[in-house]
Structure 1
Amino acid sequence: MSLCSKCRGLDLVAALRQAQGPSGSPHDEYDGGNSVIGAWHTFGRDVFASALLCQLCDLVCQGWRKWRLEVIREAILYNMFDPLNPPEDLYDDIEDMDVYLGGNTSFGLIRQERYCSEGEKWNYVLEVACTNVGSQTSFGVHDQLRTKLRITHTGDNEIPVELADLELGVAVCPDPMSTLSVSIAEDWLENCVSNHESCRAKVVAGSLPTRFLDIGDGGDSHKIFLRENSDEEDRRYIALSHCWGTTRPLCLTSTTLEAHKKGIFIQRLPKTFQDAVAVVRTLGLRYLWIDSLCIIQDDAEDWRNEAGRMAGVYRNAHLVLSATRASTDEGGFLGTRPRFNHVAFTVRSSGILLILKLLTPSPLGEESALDTRIVAGEPLSRRAWCLQERYLARRILHYGTQQMIWECSELRAAEDGDFAPIVEDQLGRIKQSATLSTTVFNARKRDIDGVTEVPAYRYAEWHAMIEDYTNREITQDSDRLPALLGLRVALESEVDDSYLAGIWLKGLLEGLTWCTASKNKPLARPDNPSIPSWTWVSVKGPVQFPIYSWFDARARWKVQSNFEPMADYIGHSDILNNGVATPSELRLAAPVVFVRGVKPRTETPPESGAYHGSPPERSTVAEQSFCFQVLDQVGEPREFWIDGSFDIKEEENAIDTSDLQIMFLTRLPFIFEDFEFLEYRFGLLVARQRETGSYKRVGYVDGCLLREGVIAAFPREEGDTDAPEINGLAPDPLCLELQHFTLI
């Protein structure tokens, strides 16, 4: 597919010249305008028609469609329309929507700072928009379409004089070991080692790992050598993070230990290991650590000992090398990198070849910047075992499908020049979160000088990591806790807290409020019956901890009440599993009610029983409603319902309803300004074990208290609704006493 006459006639050089603009903010936007760039297609319909034959028009339409999906996602998130009565054209293709067929097109160029350790340099982004037609309301979800394309040159030829002063960025080279790509990796590493104070502060003086690979013995470049407990003066080593795959072509075993000390021919190594050796040598280093070649795989004691040291191995590595794109050790990570979603554009005056690459739209209202999702779609990011390696690294170099990515405590950068200054590496952010004094139980949003300050919550970063972790694949169910051992060890050494099977004691109630992350990805039981039912480890599949995002997802307009804890930790019991203490019983004191009935949750959200104000949004994953009965203040029985779900659908019919109880963990009085409040609660659905009297978690509750199909409203005490002690205006309407229960 070639370019149409309109696209061939674009004067991108003139637009780049104007976009260069005055010095100042690196994110200033300069509107190139159609008059500068050239006479392009006037209306959306023209672009849609041309896309059938023109590569650039087709790429613009692809970008518009992605932008449209982002608009829809944001509209759903922010409740811009009634989900039961959405706009008729919500999911229509943009080519079938009159508002875009007749929309006017426009150009703009954005100059963005790109990463350079030596000074200020720029990337240039072409933005193509299609406005909507007529007067449209936000409820119609007809925002203008926008797409962004980065403009770079190939670097194959010397840049002509007319573009030299623009310092135009160079497109990512298909060869990851090209001179330019290697120089970028070297620059990232050197700049971090020399200039990043926080990264250097994390260096722990110590020895090399128990075993490591010497790839620069000097005498034989065709071999690498296994070493043990060396006192080398240079203790810098690189640790490899990789996907093993389904086979183990070369491992360290009791029988190969001595042979590996005498040398392993590089050609015998799987491709990923060969590539790692090449990178280490290119970076001028000598030592490499690979788990399968440095831990004796058929020695259980050696494996336990080295697994306990894993946190230190990755944390103290000079660099963690991530084979991010390789799905197996045989795959390698230095193969040719394809250029997706791009157009080659020849400048008429000079003949230089420019590359226009389609950029993925960032969430609306946010600037495009690198974040932790940058490698989310890569094979390594789908493996549970590899998550802690990324979190433990103080600096890590990813080799992705399309480019290299750098992460350390001060910088996240991509080979194409995008970068984002950051504060702390991922382990550091978890540590900070673990020691916060603010929790969902004592932190309120505050308006300071017109800006809403959103508090950070204790252990929010840990539980966000668990959400990522449970989305990943793991071969052995029994490895689900061991695969986090390194992170656990790293945190235990610095936080004053107890670890209970994937949940930290000072974040216990928040950690118990897990549930499925999606109706489309139901949970299942792992093949590990010894795991207690109350922890997220007792299920397989993606989970979420909705209490942290409750205000953002359910009541963005609400800035007042806090959650209140309703349960108290009493104690827990451990069992020994392969010499490791693992919690089994969890003893709590909590208000508990018997379940009197179960029914499917109504599709239509219930109305509020209050006269004024909007109730919070319902859980998107709860599928049932559970009935219970309590006595009011005069001793009369009152019946309530609350939304929730069983954890495992297949277990519903096997559970006797007479054994079901609801254990309430937290409440939030949803206070209105006048005289009423609604009662929102999180809790566990538990089943009594008749033979022992203990309880197993079988589900959760997450919703407002309901009466007769309406959200129950309760009278509040008089007082100032802006007072810090606002929760005191809404005492617990159920007045249940705490009872002691043992969860297993």
Structure 2
Amino acid sequence: METPDALCMACAKVDLFSLFNGPRYFPRDGYDNKISVSLGTLADVYANVSCPLCRLIKHDLYSTGDGFLWATKDDYVDPSKVQVTVRPVRADCKEEMRYLDEKTRDKVATILEVCLSPLEGLSAKETDLVWHHQRGDGIQLLSPDSVDPARPLLNGYRATTIANSLDLLQMWMNTCVESHTLQSQRGTGSRPYFHGAAVEYGIRVIDVEHRTIMERNPEEIEYAALSYVWSTNSAEDAGAMLQDQAMAKAEATQGSSSTLPQKIPKVVEDAVFVCKKLAIPYLWVDRYCIDQSDRVRMASEIEGMGYRYHYAKLTLIAGSGPASDNESEIGLLPVSGSGGMEELQRVETVQERKYITSLPSIRTQLHGSPWIQRSWTMQEGQLSNRCAFFGNYDVSFLCGLGHWRESLHSGPYAHEAEIPDIEMECEGYCMLSWLSWQRVKHWKFEDYTSLLMSYTPRKMSFESDKLNAITGCLNFITEMKGVHFIYGLPATDFHYALLWTGGYDRSREGFPSWSWAGWHCLQQNHLVYPLQNGTCSLEEDEHGNLQTVGPIDRDIELQGLFISLTEAPHLTNKCSQRFANIYFPSYKTNTLLTITSEIAHFSLDILPSPSKPEDWYKKSRHLKVPYDFDSTSTPSDKISWDLNSEYRTPFERLRLRDDYNNVHTYHYPRWYDHWPPFTINLPQTLRGETIAWLLKQGVELIMIVEIELLSGDKSLKPFHLVLCLVLDRRGDVAKRCGMCCLPKEFWDKSRPQMGSITLG
């Protein structure tokens, strides 16, 4: 028997196994009393080539991920002035899915996290580099022989070959299908979406054995769905799709079947290979299974995209590799063929137990993947019942109750059919996650706005798909919660839905300005929203028109930035509210919205900065309003803008002035200054012509909701606010270009008048 290498002096003082079976750290448990052990300097660890623990630490820091220690290869810090410590944390600390049950969490294994800290003698820049160093992925006990029996979940495991990955994936899927059915009936397993939903058409699927495309009933077959990112050249993709489908139709072999083209993108070829290995007979891929030549059916297919992923036995997610212009080079599998992946991890024997370096978490792989950045992929992941995520390093399987990775082994809980003694329910952030918009059957506005905050920053190839790419999620809400949507806004609580804000700069063609879909938005959110169910709504009359129904005055519990304090963001409060009257003529075919409410006219002042900031020109990718620009002293006929450029709106320099020369000084909302709060939430970036119009012509604000605090927590100060839309009245039809919150006192000083405005 080969004698293991001896530990260095620093490592020999550490009882390594005690760090894995003793107390450990988890972010939600706070930062006090962290357990950590020093192992000397980085130079010592690097030099101790004969110490197995030092070899593990060196591999963890230098050989996984980017392959170099600091943020860039040009950065360098003297390793003799960097302290190396290790601390035990729960193994799901960085993972996408985390167990909800406390007893189950106790069974999760420990991972040893390697940390760096600066010693004396480093410069400020070097100290900052050390503190902001992205830690390695950690060290774990090697399963199955060296684990702590009390913590069998998510121990370290060696990722080897694609063949082994697919064998494990088959077992994980079988475990889910066989073990989670009963739990699913109790509402904790694979989620029951779209109960009894009618499907207008069957679906076209690829027969992976015969490589033909045929139509089938999705409820009668087993198929996998592919979720992947198209190449960055969307025009080429669209042309290639139409060409592929034309070739498939030309090579039709029988009846409604057609032949898959001989040359297909590598990601699709890999998906066909995986389906064969998993004994899944059919594969659904949008590129070949949505008929682009039939516009009527294509519209129906897009409307039903959520159903495609719901009915799939498994969704295959291509999460590896950066986006590429050459789609044929992007694959599904992390390593082509049956090549090995052993070099990514290191195994060492320390004090008679085997340890292994970890691979980047699924969360790290997700956020480093182009898949997480695309609009369509959000609903593809969240509406699936089971997902196989093929990352850069290993393969993961996620369902409503399970989370398995090749490099995180869970012993008998990973592969046995029966799981009677453990609650596997998880929470997550990106897909199959514990989001109440999916789980809770009643309508909650905060679920809707959190969904949009996740969706709106994502990128898409075709701007016309802005609503199409989230239709599946909205259809789910409609079916499960009974809330219908109008251009992405819920008919229930429609007034509050109109008050979305965020970083948006220019309009999007084909959508109304009052919808968030009508703007290029960095991230949509709502600053105030109701907590209880259905405070205001629009309902359809016999002629297909929508209008405000129900009481316009009632007590309501609200949540939002303007009515909460940072240290207690969920204060209970009762508010009165008054709504504008809203009317949609034939809303199914007409995007025009008429609002009858109080209207006031304001102008916008931009004051100069007190001094020129040293980095004023670096703060934004966009051009800025000049720091010394002063609209209050510059004659309006002298204001000149580059109309084709965008300018960062200088919020700290804004003043709102009404027709009676009352000026309201800007200050930060919430707790920073004084009450009541005020902010003018114009787009963070505005085109020059819009700024010029605001300064020369002024804006009109139309009141949508007026709210007043009636009672609440003693620490919540009284408020009486008016929430308005900022209107551009230059065209025949007004356009929404911002949202504004004003104290009622200031609103009254502007002497608003009742009127009706039609928004397009």
TM-score range, shorter chain: 0.5 to 0.7
Q: CA deviation at 1:468?
A: 2.9
Tell me, yes or no, if structure 1 residue 684 matches structure 2 residue 720. Answer: no
Q: Which residue of 2 aligns with 1:615?
A: none
Q: Given the alignment, which residue of 205, 220, 237 partners 2:223?
A: 237
2: distance between equivalents of 1:594 and 1:120? Answer: 63
CA contact (8 A) 1:596 1:628 kept: yes
Per-residue deviation, 1:562: 6.6
Q: Deviations over 1:160-197 (max 9, x none)?
A: 7899999794445264x231553145314522552241
Q: Do the aligned partners of residues 336 and 645 (structure 1) sit closer, same or farther apart at CA in structure 2, a change above 3 Å counting?
A: same
For 1:486 and 1:291, the matched residues in 2 are separated by: 15
If asked which structure has higher relative contact order (CA below 8 Å, sep 6+), I would say 2
**Alignment partner of 1:625 is 2:630:** no
Aligned equivalents of 1:699, 1:302: Cα separation in 2: 37
Q: Within 5 Å, which residues of 2 pair with 1:34-53?
A: 34=38, 40-41=40-41
The aligned residue for residue 367 of structure 1 is none
Closer, same or farther in 2 for the Cα pair 1:416/1:583, shift >3 Å? Answer: farther
**Paired residues of 1:172 and 1:416 also in contact (CA < 8 A):** yes
Report the secondary structure of 2:368's partner residue. Answer: coil
Distance verdict in 2 for CA 1:351–1:105, change over 3 Å? closer
Which one of 685, 696, 699 corresponds to residue 660 of structure 1?
699
After superposition, the C-alpha distances for 1:343-369 in whole angstroms (9 at most, x for unaligned) are: 7464477797x5434878xxxxxxxxx
Matching residue of 1:572: 584
1:556 aligns to 2:574 (yes or no): no
Q: Within the alignment, does 1:487 sit opposite 2:503 as a pair? A: no
1:553 and 1:514 mapped to 2: Cα distance? 16
C-alpha contact (below 8 Å) 1:567/1:591 kept by paired residues: no
Letter in 2 for 1:331: I
User: One-letter code of the match for 2:467?
Assistant: L
Q: After superposition, what is the alpha-carbon deviation per residue over 1:615-661, rounded to whole angstroms, capped at 9, x for unaligned?
A: xxxx9984662423388xxxxx7443453434633332452643511
C-alpha spacing 1:225/1:567, structure 2 compared with 1 (3 Å): same
2:176 — aligned with what? 191
CA distance in 1, matches of 2:739, 2:609: 17
Secondary structure of the residue aligned to 2:506 is coil
Alignment of 1:691-710 (within 5 A): 692=732, 694-701=733-740
2:408 match: secondary structure: coil
Give distance in 1, aligned partners of 2:165 and 2:400: 24
Q: Distance in 2 between matches of 1:215 and 1:18?
A: 53
**Residue number in structure 2 paired with 1:211:** 203
Secondary structure at the counterpart of residue 740 of structure 2: strand
> Which residue of structure 2 aligns with residue 547 of structure 1?
527
1:298 aligned counterpart, secondary structure: coil
Between 20-29 and 490-499, the greater mean CA deviation after superposition: 20-29
TM-score w.r.t. length of structure 1: 0.65
Alignment of 1:488-527 (within 5 A): 488-517=474-503, 523-526=505-508
Contact 2:702 2:726 (8 Å CA) reproduced: yes
CA distance in 2, matches of 1:603, 1:677: 33
Query: Aligned partner of 2:334: which letter?
Result: G
The match for 2:759 is: 743
Distance 1:111 1:667 in 2: 47
* Partner in structure 1 of residue 546 of structure 2: none
Q: Which residue of 2 aligns with 1:17?
A: 17
TM-score for the superposition, normalised by structure 2: 0.63
Q: Classify the secondary structure of the residue corresponding to 2:109.
A: strand
Change (3 A) 1:394 1:166: closer
- Distance in 1, matches of 2:146 and 2:487, equals 63
Query: Deviations 1:561-602 (Å, cap 9, x if unpaired)?
Result: 577655424222357xxxxx3551222344332113321586
Distance 1:214 1:154 in 2: 40
State the shift of 1:547 in Å. 0.9
Establish whether residue 279 from structure 1 lines up as the match of residue 255 from structure 2.
no
- What amino acid does structure 1 have at the position aligned with 2:739? Y
Partner of 1:536: 516
SS at structure 2 position matched to 1:540: strand
1:225 is aligned to 2:224: no
Q: Gapped runs of 5+ residues in structure 2? A: 65-69, 121-126, 410-423, 529-558, 612-647, 667-679
Structure 1 residue 141: Cα displacement:
12
**What SS class does the counterpart of residue 596 from structure 1 fall into?**
strand
Q: Is the contact made by 2:373 and 2:458 (CA closer than 8 Å) also made in structure 1?
A: yes
Tell me, yes or no, if the aligned pair for 1:170 and 1:416 is still in contact at 8 Å: yes
Distance 1:314 1:402, change over 3 A: same
After superposition, the CA RMSD in angstroms is 5.6
1-structure distance, mates of 2:597, 2:63: 53
Alpha-carbon separation, structure 1, partners of 2:318 and 2:707: 45
The alpha-carbon deviation at position 311 of structure 1 amounts to 2.6
More displaced stretch, 331-340 vs 468-477: 331-340
Post-superposition offset of 1:269 = 2.8
In the alignment, the residues of structure 1 paired with residue 177 and residue 749 of structure 2 have an alpha-carbon distance, to the nearest angstrom, of 57
Q: Does 1:178 align with 2:172?
A: no
Q: Secondary structure at the match of 1:238?
A: strand
Provide the C-alpha distance between the structure 2 equivalents of 1:462 and 1:263, rounded to a whole number of angstroms.
41
> What residue in structure 1 maps to residue 305 of structure 2?
310
Query: Residue 402 in 1 paired to residue 407 in 2?
Result: no
In structure 1, the residue matched to 2:623 is none
Contact 1:325–1:378 (CA under 8 A) maintained in structure 2: yes
* Residues 26/103 of structure 1: CA separation in 2 closer, same or farther (3 Å cut): closer
Separation in 2 of the partners of 1:507 and 1:202? 26
SS in 1 for 2:507: coil
For the residues of structure 2 that align with 1:324 and 1:169, how far apart are their CA atoms? 23
The C-alpha deviation readout for 1:252-281, integer Å capped at 9, x for no partner, is 348447348666468533211111112212
Which secondary structure does the structure 1 equivalent of 2:726 belong to?
Answer: strand
Rounded Cα–Cα distance in structure 2 between residues aligned with 1:13 and 1:171: 26
Residue 376 of structure 1 and its aligned partner are, at CA, apart by 3.1
Q: Which runs of 5+ in 1 are unaligned?
A: 64-68, 71-92, 134-139, 361-369, 437-457, 576-580, 605-618, 632-636, 706-711, 715-730
- The number of residue pairs the alignment matches comes to 602
Given that residues 50 and 57 in structure 1 are in contact (C-alpha distance below 8 angstroms), is that contact kept between their aligned partners in structure 2?
A: no
Provide the C-alpha distance between the structure 1 equivalents of 2:486 and 2:356, rounded to a whole number of angstroms. Answer: 52
From the superposition, tell whether residues 12 and 237 of structure 1 become closer, same or farther in structure 2 (CA, over 3 Å): farther
Offset at residue 669 of structure 1 (A):
6.7
CA 1:536 to 1:121, structure 2 compared with 1: closer, same or farther past 3 Å? closer
1:226 CA drift (Å): 1.9
Q: Give the alignment of 1:342-381 within 5 angstroms.
A: 344=346, 346-347=348-349, 354-357=355-358, 375-381=366-372
Amino acid of the structure 2 residue aligned with 1:648: L
Deviation at residue 237 of structure 1 after TM alignment: 1.7
* 1:252 maps to 2:245: yes
Residues 669 and 680, structure 1, Cα contact 8 Å, conserved in 2: yes
Offset from partner CA, 1:219-267 (integer Å, 9 cap, x none): xx5x3222224699x6222122222334326633484473486664685
Q: Distance in 1 between matches of 2:439 and 2:155?
A: 37
Q: Partner letter of residue 684 of structure 1?
A: L
Q: Which amino acid aligns with 1:628?
A: R
